[in-house]
Amino acid sequence: MCYGIMVTASVSSIHRYSFFVAMGYLTICHISRIYIFHYGILTTDFSGPLMIVTQKITTLAFQVHDGLGRRAEDLSAEQHRLAVKVKPSFLQYLSYLLNFMSVIAGPCNNFKDYIAFIEGRHTHMKLLEVNWKQRGFQSLPEPSPTGAVIRKLYMTLVSLLLFLTLTKAFPVTCLVDDWFVHKANFLTRLCYLYIVMQASKPKYYFAWTLADAVNNAAGFGFSGVDKNGNFCWDLLSNLNIWKIETATSFKMYLENWNIQTATWLKRVCYERVPWYPTVLTFVLSALWHGVYPGYYFTFLTGTLVTVAARTMRNNYRHYFLSSKALKVAYDVVTWAVTQLAVSYTVAPFVMLAVEPTISLYKTFEWCGGMCRMCQRPCSLGCWVFASLAPFPATGAHTSAPEGRRWLLTELIFQNIPRYGCSLGSPRPFDHSDDTQKTTEEKEPAQKNQEDLP
């Protein structure tokens, strides 16, 4: 059906038709497999490969639209480089969608890169970007993927061992146990949440690294030469584990997690939509992942955390760059906050259903919903204090949760009128958004990429 659209539809609308048909079919499949067969159980079935195929169908449709339906001066540099100027044949189309290297676990790749690989031009094109004579070579070298494949297979083995040990020792069901919900104090729950979320990562590390290694073993994935002259095989890499575990901002974390999906979201949604790009990108990400309610809890919370993290970084980071000690202290604090914020945000993603998600968020007094108030130092300080302070069970409040809930309520009703805004408004004291478009709205292709999911 999508190839029929590719062949018959107008190039001015080919991307829209392909997008709605592919995403619509994927959504119907998600609904049928979840609510008819396996609600509450995340099974491995046809929906995984179909998600990858959906990415490829829409990616190709947008690139054909860029190549045939738009003027060159209207394209960004990246869109111009990836634009497809000739509609693919049926064989090319099927080969791109269903090749054995990426049909099971991906990752999504660009049509022009794939065709260059099939025609044997993939590595040659990347090598021509370097002046090898200045490096002492008389001819083009022959980069081998062997080292990269061995390294990635070693990482998949480590990830598998962690999955069989750490994940089994700290299952996500621990987050709804009676001890966690009713007996553990706030800081204990927060630390335990972080441990459980860390334990849920190895399966993703395993699948994505193995998929990358398979493509590299076939000779696909060469990205060029780094500044030290080393051959790089990370064109299709889906994650950077070191940067994920040491991320000091939400932006840095998202940029290195599920990289190819984030790139797909940027190219088909974030750079294209004229309004609310951040919100719509998170909505598309949730819809693509499926229709489990937990996905929507995660991406709704992720939208708020993204805005709060960006605002905090822009407003306060420069105060800590005057000395090395301050910078180290800032990095340590932001690392801890980032890791805990990510754990809080993605917990519903792995819990899937509504009931455990509500139970978990209740134990944290719905603190994540307050992150939008982090746009003012007074609100931030009060929110952190209200979230973490060990309230004594004395006075008018008979328990620590009640005291914390009282202070959060006071924070909401005292600060919102004072700052003249609601939780959903763009920025306290700043009404310029009503009269003047931001640079982000004027130039969609140049939007800040820090809020991609």
- Are residues 164 and 156 in contact, defined by beta-carbon separation less than 8 angstroms? no
* Cβ atoms within 10 Å of 426's Cβ, excluding its own: 13
Kindly state the helix (H) or strand (E) to which residue 52 belongs, with its residue range.
helix 47-68
CA dihedral (179, 188, 242, 162) in degrees, to 10, reads -30
* Active-site hit among 15, 30, 65, 289: 289
Cross-strand partners of 142: none
Output the six-digit token pair for 296. Answer: 């929507």
Instruction: Classify the phi-psi angles of 395: left when phi > 0, otherwise alpha if psi is within -120 to 50, otherwise beta.
Output: left
Distance of CA 31 to the CA centre of its chain: 22
30 is catalytic: no
Look up residue 29 and give its DSSP letter.
Answer: H
Q: What are the beta bridge partners of residue 257?
A: 239
Give Cα 181 distance to the centre of its chain: 29
* Spatial CA neighbour of 283 closest among 27, 68, 35, 75: 27
Q: Does residue 109 contact residue 236 with C-beta atoms inside 8 Å?
A: yes
**Given the residues 258, 314, 315, 415, the one annotated as active site:** 258
Q: CA 209, CA 444: separation in Å to the nearest integer?
A: 32
The answer for residues whose C-beta is within 8 angstroms of residue 141's C-beta and 6 or more apart is 127, 132
Largest CA distance in the chain: 83
Tokens (6 digits) for 268: 């088909």
| DSSP β-bridge partners for residue 224 | 232
> Which CA distances in Å does 62 have to 65, 108, 222?
5, 14, 24
- Is 258 labeled as catalytic in the residue annotation? yes
Task: Look at the block and give the residue holding tokens 């693919």.
Answer: 88
Helices (H), 266-399: 277-289, 293-316, 324-351, 354-363, 377-388
DSSP notation for 74-90: GS-HHHHHH---SPPPH
List residues with catalytic annotation: 258, 289
